[in-house]
Amino acid sequence: MSSIRKISILLIISISLILFFLGSSVYIYLSNYSYADFYKRLEARVSVAEKYHFETNQKDAQVLKNIREEHLELLSNEKEYILYCPNANSMKQLADTNSLPINFLELVYTQQFANYQKNDIFYHGKIRETPKGFYFIIVSAKNYYNTHHLILLKKVLFAGGLIAILVIIYFIFLFSKNFFEPINKIITKVNSISTDNIHLRLDEIKNTVEINRLTSTFNNLLNRIEIAIETNKNFISNASHEFGTPLTAIIGEADVALLKDRTPAEYKETLQKILKQSERLNKISQSLLFLAQIGYKDNKLNYTILRTDEIILQANEIMNQLVPKNNIKIDFELLPENPTKLKILGNKELLILAITNILTNACKYSSNKLVVVSLASTNNEIVMIFKDQGIGIPESEIPFIFEPFYRASNTAAYDGYGIGLPLTQNIIKIHKGELIISSVLHKGVTIQVKLPVATL
Ligand code: ADP
């Protein structure tokens, strides 16, 4: 049995039990109350009857009788008995002639007064001693409340409980259907996602916060997996090419040096060339490792609220150290007045790294021409724009520019490994942002980085 069914059945059983106990308590309380209340009514009638029967003054007796008739409503099947009993032995005969339960008379006789119930007839009686002997004063009546009202109450409680349970069953099944249907959809969609179509994402489902959190968590996971898969996809071919070039250079240098005996100066020169290529190899392998890690790591652990203008300024300071001749101009004219619109949730070091990568390329491929950085924000998005006046990227090559090791055909004169831009894009992706690149060849490149404003 599915867990949905189990939970639904458990809920229905619990609610039914609660309703049953509530109904029973109401019924027991009211039925006890009806007994006590009815005996009190009989008792009141017995004491009034005693008063007007044994009142010596005839006039007063008549007044009492009138008051009783006027104010004490007649109960159903109400009967009044004033029975003279000369002695205890005549009780049996008295009971028979008046069709009264002998047990009841005995009880009244021993206790002076008593309540009694036989079927739905209720009795209250008391003893009145007189010099001639004693009298039983008894009033009996049918407990209409008990026979009619309580049966009605029982029916109402039963029917009400049954209807309530049916309504609850209906709502529980409706709720579980509405709640679990999206989960089933998610399961089907997740099953259809494989490495071939890893770009697919789960749709957001309206009005269900928890399920939306689940889908966005899963989508984030897919983002990271996609980054990792993309990084791995071209890794072998690109890496072998990138590693191959310096390795060939190293082997070539060593081969040439070993052809004949060399002077110390020549060995030194060869070693320097080998060292340079080895450093290049080291740099490539390190950046590659970092690129791969970005896709796997859950960097959210180091997320803090950051101001984007401060991040740009810090990246600019780093640029001043790395490329002292840079010509970067920061334009904060479009800056919003409200500083909360500049805040994002993110990892400071990674974001600074991403921005310095963009700025390094802008300076490098424009030979330190003017680079303008501007910052703007809408209600839920912050946009950073980096505009340079460099060599640009051939339009047909833009789709490949984010592939690791890819370098555009016009970059032969510039140093580089083709890892900075994919790394930057991955950093922006894990911040739920977007990196858009546009370019006009020989005119320059414009990169837009969009990041979601932090919800405080
Ligand atoms: P590289 O180390 O080659 O600069 P990147 O990964 O940073 O590697 O960039 C990938 C490629 O994107 C570069 O080789 C270059 O062709 C292109 N590119 C990136 N930024 C610019 C830019 N500002 N101007 C021209 N080309 C750029």
pLDDT at 56: 64
Which pLDDT score is estimated for 300? Answer: 56
pLDDT at 2: 67
Is it the case that residue 365 has pLDDT exceeding 90? Answer: yes
- Binding site membership of 408 for ligand 1 (Cβ less than 6 Å): yes
Report d(CA 371, CA 11) in Å as an integer. 65
Please choose, from the candidates 252, 253, 241, 254, the residue with its C-alpha nearest in 3D space to the C-alpha of residue 281: 241
Q: How open is the CA angle 295-297-298, to the nearest 5 degrees?
A: 115
pLDDT of residue 81: 92
Q: What is the mean pLDDT of residues 406-413?
A: 92
Say whether pLDDT at 147 is over 90: no
Of 363 and 86, the one with more pLDDT = 363
Q: How confident is the model at residue 368 (pLDDT cuts 50, 70, 90)?
A: very high
- What is the rounded average pLDDT for all residues in the chain? 86
- Looking at residue 64, what is its pLDDT? 72
Model confidence at 454: pLDDT above 60:
yes
Lowest model confidence (mean pLDDT) among 18-22, 141-145, 363-367: 141-145
Arithmetic mean of pLDDT, 415-434: 89
CA 307 / ligand 1 centre spacing (Å): 27
Q: Does the Cβ of 363 fall within 6 Å of ligand 1?
A: no
- Evaluate if residue 239 carries a pLDDT over 80: no
Q: Is 421 in the pocket of ligand 1 (CB under 6 A)?
A: yes
Q: 411 CB less than 6 Å from ligand 1? A: yes
Give CATH superfamily name and number for 304-452. Answer: Histidine kinase-like ATPase, C-terminal domain (3.30.565.10)
- 125 contacts 109 by C-beta, under 8 angstroms: no
Tell how far the Cα of 281 is from the centroid of ligand 1, in angstroms: 19
Highest mean pLDDT pick, 63-67, 321-325, 387-391, 406-410: 387-391
Mutate-to-test residue for ligand 1 from 280, 373, 386, 421, highest number of ligand atoms within 8 A of CB: 421
What pLDDT is stored for residue 290 in this prediction? 77
Residue 296 above 60 pLDDT? no
Question: Average pLDDT of 198-227?
Answer: 82
Q: Ligand 1 center to residue 387 CA distance, Å?
A: 14
pLDDT of residue 344: 94
Cβ 81 under 6 angstroms from ligand 1: no
What pLDDT, on the 0 to 100 scale, is given for residue 298?
57
> Is the distance from the beta carbon of residue 407 to the nearest atom of ligand 1 less than 6 Å?
yes
Mean pLDDT of 48-70: 76
- Output the residue whose Cα is nearest ligand 1's atom 2: 416
Q: Give Cα separations from 435 to 296, 430, 447 (angstroms).
A: 20, 11, 7
Question: CA–CA separation, 341 vs 308, rounded Å?
Answer: 9
71: amino acid identity, one letter: H
Domain regions of the chain by residue span? 3-148, 213-294, 304-452
Burial annotation 174-213 (CB, 10 A radius, 16+ → b, else e): eebeeebebeeebeeeeeebeeeebeebbeebeeeeebbe
CA 186 vs CA 21, 172, 240: distances in Å: 41, 21, 40
> Is the CB–ligand 1 distance for residue 402 below 6 Å?
no
Nearest CA to ligand 1 atom 23: 362
Whole-Å CA distances, 454 to 26, 305, 448: 55, 7, 18
CATH of 213-294 given 2.30.30.40, 1.10.287.130, 1.10.10.10, 3.40.50.720 = 1.10.287.130
Q: 418 CB less than 6 Å from ligand 1?
A: yes
How is residue 83 written in tokens?
């029975």
Q: What is the mean pLDDT of residues 363-383?
A: 94
Pocket of ligand 1, candidates 391, 407, 446: which has the most ligand atoms within 8 Å of its Cβ, to mutate?
407
Q: What per-residue confidence (pLDDT) applies to 72?
A: 73
Give CATH for domain 3-148.
Answer: 3.30.450
Query: Which helix (DSSP H) or strand (DSSP E) does residue 431 occupy?
Result: none
pLDDT at 182: 81
Predicted local confidence at residue 235, as pLDDT: 64
Question: Residue whose CA is closest, atom 11 of ligand 1?
Answer: 407
Q: Which whole number is the average pLDDT over 133-142?
A: 91
Q: What is the pLDDT of residues 153-181, one digit of tens each?
A: 889 999 998 998 899 888 888 887 777 78
pLDDT at 297 over 60: no
